[in-house]
């Protein structure tokens, strides 16, 4: 099958050809015919499966079939990065149409957006800034024919569902086609789908699980030695493009600074960055200027970089779904990828949950000659360079780990040593 089979408007077809699209992905092949027929749709697919084109192309086709005035399509995305990437896809695929699009999110000049809103057929928006414009009467949504809620599960995670429900009150109910896309289907998203979709069709690509091109590994380590372990991994592993996840904005910023000081080409992506610095971090990571990008889950939403070789979970994610989201950034387009996760004693429950989600017990590894007995953090790239490059070893039994015998001189060191030792005294069951 190819894109000519869908019967797109000739100007949309010209954009597809110019973009180099030939064969649709599975989500495109299954979703586009349903959307072209006017059906509401719930699409379950991971980031990087081509789902953006699965809704952008039918939107362009519909708006070209019947010209009109005002905002006729609204796409809501959880993050600025995802909104901007969707906006770019519209501009690329719609290059031969006369349709205009605007991306609307915080951190940029409001008045510039006002002018663009009044001239646009398609609005791609983050919920908060869109509500600002609605409250200021800068945008009229009464003519919206198509609504897309993209990454719906992440919008729930970020607390946007009340905003979504408020935005829906400004949209026409009659004659509106609604599409939802999500990587997972928790109960809250099912309820939202029941509220906004009418007689919808469900399109699910495979089951929501990591690509079989991704190799997983757990690295047991004490909390205070995570940075040292990361430095050694980066220094001794053949990495090309590495995405590192932390639990907090503070840790992302701190870790990014440490990696830079240690000599790695790195940047951090977290909520406190200005828009210009966020754009620099994203573009730098895509272009290869930065080999390592440290990010939080929220800040990383929408990152779509095809050649990420490694995802490293510096902090264990809080849910199996978040684990899937994170490691879905590697192993794309049949490329091989690796997902490393640092685990401590506090992560036992999540280790079991991840094993269940992956469908097997993830192997646990240790690095030869890494100083697991250290009672204080080892920082700086010297820690990585001090050890000759050694192959990573698969954990076969708990005896494989070096014994932890550190003299305890204070309460703080005693706690650190307990954690260092405890990190290597358990093996999770699936």
- How many whole angstroms separate alpha carbon 32 and alpha carbon 55? 7
- Going by pLDDT thresholds of 50, 70 and 90, the confidence category of residue 333 is low
Please give the average per-residue pLDDT across 398-427, as a whole number.
38
- How many whole angstroms separate alpha carbon 179 and alpha carbon 381? 48
Determine the CATH number of domain 214-422.
3.40.50.300
Please give the backbone phi and psi of residue 151, each rounded to the nearest 5 degrees, phi first. 55, 55
Length of the chain (residues): 430
Cα→Cα distances 150→81, 87, 154, Å: 12, 13, 9
103 or 430, higher pLDDT: 103
> 3-state class of 267 per DSSP?
strand
Q: What pTM was estimated for this model as a whole?
A: 0.61
Percent of the chain with pLDDT over 90: 49
- Map out the domains of the chain as residue ranges: 3-204, 214-422
Determine the CATH number of domain 3-204.
3.40.50.300
- Going by pLDDT thresholds of 50, 70 and 90, the confidence category of residue 3 is very high
**Starting from the edge strand earliest in sequence, which strands make up the sheet with 101-104, in order?**
101-104, 122-125, 73-76, 146-149, 177-182, 41-44, 201-204
425 or 263, higher pLDDT: 263
- How many whole angstroms separate alpha carbon 7 and alpha carbon 64? 13
Q: Taking Cα atoms as reference points, which of 80, 204, 198 lies closest to residue 147?
A: 198
Which run of H or of E encompasses 391?
Answer: none
Please give the backbone phi and psi of residue 147, each rounded to the nearest 5 degrees, phi first. -120, 135
Q: What is the pLDDT of residue 301?
A: 66
- Could you write out the DSSP letters of every residue in 351-374? HHHHHHHHTSPPPBEEETT--TT-
Q: 5-15: per-residue pLDDT in tens?
A: 999 999 999 99
Percent of the chain with pLDDT over 70: 83
Q: Which of 112-121, 187-196, 199-208, 347-356 has the highest mean pLDDT?
A: 112-121
Q: What is the pLDDT of residue 326?
A: 86
- Going by pLDDT thresholds of 50, 70 and 90, the confidence category of residue 406 is very low
Average pLDDT, the chain: 83
Q: 39-91: per-residue pLDDT in tens?
A: 999 998 866 678 999 999 999 999 999 888 999 999 999 988 889 999 999 99
- How many whole angstroms separate alpha carbon 265 and alpha carbon 276? 19
Lowest-pLDDT range of 156-170, 304-318, 323-337: 323-337
- How many whole angstroms separate alpha carbon 328 and alpha carbon 49? 10
């Amino acid at each position: 099958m190819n894109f000519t089979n869908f019967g797109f408007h000739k100007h949309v077809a010209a954009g597809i050809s110019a973009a180099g699209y030939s064969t649709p992905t599975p989500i495109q092949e299954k979703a586009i015919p349903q959307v072209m027929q006017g059906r509401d749709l719930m699409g379950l697919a991971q980031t990087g499966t081509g789902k953006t084109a699965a809704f952008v192309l039918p939107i362009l086709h519909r708006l070209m079939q019947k010209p009109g005035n005002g905002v006729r399509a609204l796409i809501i995305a959880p993050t600025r990065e995802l909104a901007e990437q969707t906006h770019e896809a519209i501009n690329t695929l719609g290059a031969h149409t006369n349709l205009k699009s605007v991306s609307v999110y915080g951190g940029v000049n409001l008045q510039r957006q006002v002018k663009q809103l009044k001239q646009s057929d398609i609005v791609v928006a983050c919920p908060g800034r869109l509500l600002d414009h609605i409250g200021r009467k800068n945008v009229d949504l009464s003519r919206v024919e198509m609504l897309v809620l993209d990454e719906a599960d992440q919008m729930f995670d970020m607390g946007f569902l009340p905003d979504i429900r408020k935005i829906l009150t400004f949209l026409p109910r009659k004659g509106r086609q609604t599409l939802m896309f999500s990587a997972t289907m928790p109960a809250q998203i099912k309820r939202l789908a029941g509220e906004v979709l009418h007689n919808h069709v469900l399109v699910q690509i495979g089951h929501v699980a990591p690509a079989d091109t991704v190799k997983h590994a757990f690295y047991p380590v004490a909390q205070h030695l995570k940075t040292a372990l990361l430095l050694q991994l980066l220094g001794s592993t053949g990495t090309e493009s590495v995405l590192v996840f932390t639990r907090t904005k503070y840790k992302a910023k701190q870790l990014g600074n440490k990696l830079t000081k240690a000599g790695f080409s790195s940047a951090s992506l977290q909520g406190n960055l200005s828009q210009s610095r966020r754009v620099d971090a994203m573009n730098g990571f895509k272009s290869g200027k930065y080999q390592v990008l440290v990010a939080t889950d929220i800040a990383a939403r929408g990152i779509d970089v095809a050649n990420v070789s490694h995802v490293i979970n510096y902090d264990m994610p809080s849910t199996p779904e978040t684990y899937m989201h994170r490691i879905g950034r590697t192993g794309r387009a049949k490329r091989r990828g690796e997902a490393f996760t640092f685990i401590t004693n506090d992560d036992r429950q999540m280790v079991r949950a991840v094993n269940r989600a992956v469908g097997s017990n993830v192997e646990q590894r240790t690095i030869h000659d890494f100083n697991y007995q250290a009672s204080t953090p080892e920082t700086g790239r010297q820690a990585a360079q001090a050890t000759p490059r050694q192959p990573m070893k698969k954990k076969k039994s708990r005896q494989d780990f070096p014994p932890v015998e550190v003299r305890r001189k204070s309460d703080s060191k005693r706690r650190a040593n307990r954690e260092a030792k405890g990190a290597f005294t358990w093996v999770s069951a699936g």
